[in-house]
Amino acid sequence: MATRTRTLSRTVKALLAPALALGATIGLAAAPASAAVWSTCDQWGNTSLNGYTLYNNIWGSGAGSQCIWANSGTSWGVWANHPNTGGIKSYPNSKKVINKTITSLGSLNSSYNVTVPSSGAYNTSYDVWDTDYDYEIMLWVNYNGAVGALGDYQGNATLGGHNWNVFKGRVYRSDGTYWDVFSFLRTADSTSGTVQILPVLKWIKDTKGWMGNETIGDVQFGFEVTSSSGGLDFVTNNLTVSSS
């Protein structure tokens, strides 16, 4: 399996390596005209609403301006103006804590409905983590522009109600430790639907043997933005994450 080095990503960068923060305030932009119960343009701005935690999460180098707003943990959006350069700039997201082992889960489902731009480089994705941050499972439901999955292509699989192209890679931290990344890219873009996440986890664990009976810490859903020059809107019209 090929490996690749990159910086700590998404919410984990903020959680595990706060010292890596840029230290400077990201350039601010005006919040959306529509009323919202919460908004921020802070780099690491976050809040909790009705069982979900929202993060602005501007973590990549060379980032521009970005603001997040929310009516609830499941209805929110982002205005982002990141330059037309390579490298992921941000992963604004809404997170639901699970804290159950794979075998103790009876179900883990989510529905999504988003409005995304026709320009820019980004993906709309779930980011599922174990509690030790040793495994990251990404589910891309749509993507646009010059973006691609980490690691090597592992083939195609139909799981959880969708058909995916599967990639497997590894990310090294600065201390030499690493985590494995399993990326599932939907073969046809979708802006709304339902995903059964548990069958994906069981396939990784039981069919492929790529991980053991991990405790799933949380499920994140958001927009991994590489470029959005001039300012683009990304909206989560509705999101649900449920487990049993």
3-state secondary structure 23-82: CCCCCCCCCCCCCCCEEECCCCCEEEECCEEEECCCCCCCCCEEEEEEEECCEEEEEEEC
Q: How far, in Å, CA of 231 to CA of 176, rounded? A: 37
The mean per-residue pLDDT over the stretch 116-136 comes to 98
pLDDT of residue 231: 98
Give the distance from CA 174 to its chain's centroid: 21
More confident residue, 35 or 196: 196
Supply the pLDDT for residue 95: 98
pLDDT the model gives residue 5:
31
The neighbour count for residue 156, using CB atoms within 10 Å, is 11
Third-level CATH fold of 4-243? Jelly Rolls (2.60.120)
Q: What is the reported pTM?
A: 0.87
Q: What are phi and psi of 13, to 5 degrees?
A: -60, -40
Residue 220 · residue 76 · CB < 8 Å: no
Q: Which is it for the CA torsion 77, 114, 201, 90, positive or negative?
A: negative
User: Which pLDDT band holds residue 12 (cuts at 50, 70, 90)?
Assistant: very low
Q: Give the Cα separation of 104 and 46 in Å (integer).
A: 30
User: How far, in Å, CA of 35 to CA of 32, rounded?
Assistant: 8
Per residue in 60-115, pLDDT (tens digit) is 999 999 999 999 999 999 999 999 999 999 999 999 999 999 999 999 999 999 99
